[in-house]
Structure 1
Amino acid sequence: MSNIFSKPTSLADWQLVKVSGQDNRVFLQGQITNDINRLSEQATLYAAHCDNKGRMWSTLLLFQRGDDIYYIVRKSVVKKQIAELAKYAVFSKVTIEPVQDLNIIGLVGNAIPSTIATKLSNISCFTENNITYIKLPLPQMRVIMVTPEPIQDDLLPCDEWLKLDLQAGYPIIDDNNMATLLPQACNLQSCDAISFEKGCYCGQEMVARAQFRGANTRGMYVIKGTSDVLPEIGSTLEYKLAGGWREGGIVLAAAKLDEKDGVCVQVVLNNGIDLNTPFRVYGNDNSRMTF
């Protein structure tokens, strides 16, 4: 795979947001599922931002530059997500805004300078010469570069980064799926994205109930196969039973794997489903997918 990624990858489908001000840490501690005290200039934080029912507005990758906290979020949700976050900022000295003076690009394989890879061997991020480097370990080492430099034109397409996120098991929350899923329905408890020891945050009661009282009955899966079309985000798939096809699941993301109709789909399904179950895009006889 390294030979494929000999140049940087576009992250145009993601947005960088800055949370600044003297109350930024205390404020975010009351809003996200993870413990902000774990965040530093050398340690990133993965978390969800939920409504008061525990349903996710988005997932966030947080990092720190000086006194400011930044997070990376899907661009399709950022306007609504910031608006929901800002509702609780009225009595805090914080400013939440999309970033205009920094850009983000992805580095994988041969595109990662060896000196950067070495510096990230025992930490998850660092800032040097006004450029922040963020390590993602799955499905192979990746680096997000946050830089004031303009983005070059010759980049690999966003879909290449999306495929890696699907393989890594990072849920993709786009606008069609906002405020519909608990974090555990997307396996965030397995991604070290939820702290069950920290204090209160928006949606905490429902997230805790899902964890300790079995209130969540769904999980996120990746299925692969062939299809002449990709399913729409937020739509359902069909799975085969003895009596025919039955509708089920929520599609989070989908990507083409090759030019021969190979596809990869991230979907939320009821737990306990038979892993030999065939799936297809709704109503499409030309698609077949399995776990």
Structure 2
Amino acid sequence: MTAVPDFVLGADEFRLLRHALHEALVPSGVFRVEGSGALQCVQGVYTNDVLRHAPNALMWGGVLTPKGMIVFDMWVLRDGDAAWMIVPGSAHDTASAAFARTFPPRIAKVTDRTGDVAISWILGHNPPAGPGVIVPAGPAPFSALRIREDGNDDSALPPPVAPAEWVNAARLLAGWPALGREIDDRTLPQEVRFDALDGVRHDKGCYTGQETVARLHFRGHPNRTLRGLRWHDARPTGSDVLIGERNVGTISTWGLIDGRALGMAKLRREVDTGADVDAGGATATVVELPFNDE
């Protein structure tokens, strides 16, 4: 992380983000899986419970290593006995290889639709009903997801189109982790709010990485958890979070809303909510996520 904020919103922009409808294209890898074993194959690699959700449900979760580390997070939209799998754009190649390795094409044929399907977030209240507009079954950093199967032409989106940085703002306000920011190759689901965000089910059948996730849930606790930071006056100029001279975390996302600096960091569990810390060289207070009071 650098001293450059991930987004800057004035008071009017923030009000529009919270209360007016906007649509933002989000770079994504998009795959569709079909076949007699499609849902069972997704179920076997996914932290959420695809089979328990309704036939048209949109849910969030993750694909893990056998040791329980997050490989990538993923939205899954059930479409009857088939499913759409939507991953961050940076995870496209990794996801493609993972599906090729673990999904037998005879019963679960995966088609890469990234080139001809666009994914966008609808931000604001009361998203309009329409083709491809799906309201999530649980928490989300958006009010609806839109899947457009007719290409990526922005002109086809209803105005107004949100600036790209509003995606990071919506994500931060929701306390939502992102691959390459809050999530890296050593991150466990419980460290980045998967429980709070309904991204993992502890009562489903086996999936890759479940043993570590279950052991941590029922018998232990993560050493780090994702928390919010609210700076007092100054802005961060670095990424380290310190108590005294001890490093207790790293700022992963931050931005300015009406001149106020807010951010997220994975912090050591012994750091109390409400504590003041040195966050990037400036004093900030540790707060729980999401930022509901902003």
TM-score by length of 1: 0.77
From 229, 235, 249, the counterpart of 1:227? 235
Q: Tell me, yes or no, if structure 1 residue 133 matches structure 2 residue 134.
A: yes
In the TM superposition, what are the counterparts of 1:30-45 in structure 2 within 5 Å? 30-45=44-59
Percent sequence identity is 20
> How many equivalent residue pairs?
263
**Residues 112 and 195 of structure 1: CA distance in aligned 2, closer, same or farther (over 3 Å):** closer
Indicate the residue corresponding to 1:143 in structure 2.
Answer: 144
**Which AA in structure 2 matches 1:108?**
L
Which has the higher mean CA deviation after the structures are superposed, 87-96 or 73-82?
A: 87-96
From 270, 273, 276, the counterpart of 1:272? 270
Contact 2:62-2:70 within 8 A present in 1 as well = yes
> How far apart are the structure 2 equivalents of 1:108 and 1:263?
21
> How far apart are the structure 2 equivalents of 1:111 and 1:79?
34
> How far apart are the structure 1 equivalents of 2:270 and 2:89?
33
> How far apart are the structure 2 equivalents of 1:168 and 1:32?
22
Question: What SS class does the counterpart of residue 3 from structure 1 fall into?
Answer: helix
From 183, 201, 204, the counterpart of 2:207? 201
**Which AA in structure 1 matches 2:198?**
D
> How far apart are the structure 2 equivalents of 1:263 and 1:79?
35
Indicate the residue corresponding to 1:211 in structure 2.
Answer: 217
Q: Tell me, yes or no, if structure 1 residue 188 matches structure 2 residue 194.
A: yes
Q: Tell me, yes or no, if structure 1 residue 247 matches structure 2 residue 247.
A: yes
Deviation of 1:259 (Å) = 7.3
> How far apart are the structure 2 equivalents of 1:267 and 1:158?
22
Higher RCO, Cα 8 Å, sep 6+: 2
> How far apart are the structure 2 equivalents of 1:290 and 1:98?
43
**Residues 81 and 263 of structure 1: CA distance in aligned 2, closer, same or farther (over 3 Å):** farther
Q: Which runs of 5+ in 1 are unaligned?
A: 117-127
Question: What SS class does the counterpart of residue 76 from structure 2 fall into?
Answer: strand
> How far apart are the structure 2 equivalents of 1:132 and 1:87?
31
Question: What SS class does the counterpart of residue 190 from structure 1 fall into?
Answer: coil
Contact 1:22-1:94 within 8 A present in 2 as well = no
Deviation of 1:183 (Å) = 0.6
> How far apart are the structure 2 equivalents of 1:32 and 1:52?
12
> How far apart are the structure 2 equivalents of 1:38 and 1:279?
44
**Residues 36 and 10 of structure 1: CA distance in aligned 2, closer, same or farther (over 3 Å):** same
Question: What SS class does the counterpart of residue 167 from structure 1 fall into?
Answer: helix
Indicate the residue corresponding to 2:119 in structure 1.
Answer: 104
Contact 2:241-2:250 within 8 A present in 1 as well = no
Deviation of 1:96 (Å) = 4.9
Q: Tell me, yes or no, if structure 1 residue 12 matches structure 2 residue 26.
A: yes
In the TM superposition, what are the counterparts of 1:10-89 in structure 2 within 5 Å? 10-89=24-103
Indicate the residue corresponding to 1:159 in structure 2.
Answer: 165
Contact 1:133-1:143 within 8 A present in 2 as well = yes
Deviation of 1:102 (Å) = 2.1
From 281, 284, 289, the counterpart of 2:284? 289
**Residues 83 and 151 of structure 1: CA distance in aligned 2, closer, same or farther (over 3 Å):** same
Deviation of 1:87 (Å) = 2.0
Deviation of 1:31 (Å) = 0.3
> How far apart are the structure 1 equivalents of 2:254 and 2:230?
10
> How far apart are the structure 2 equivalents of 1:218 and 1:175?
15
Q: Which runs of 5+ in 2 are unaligned?
A: 1-13, 287-294
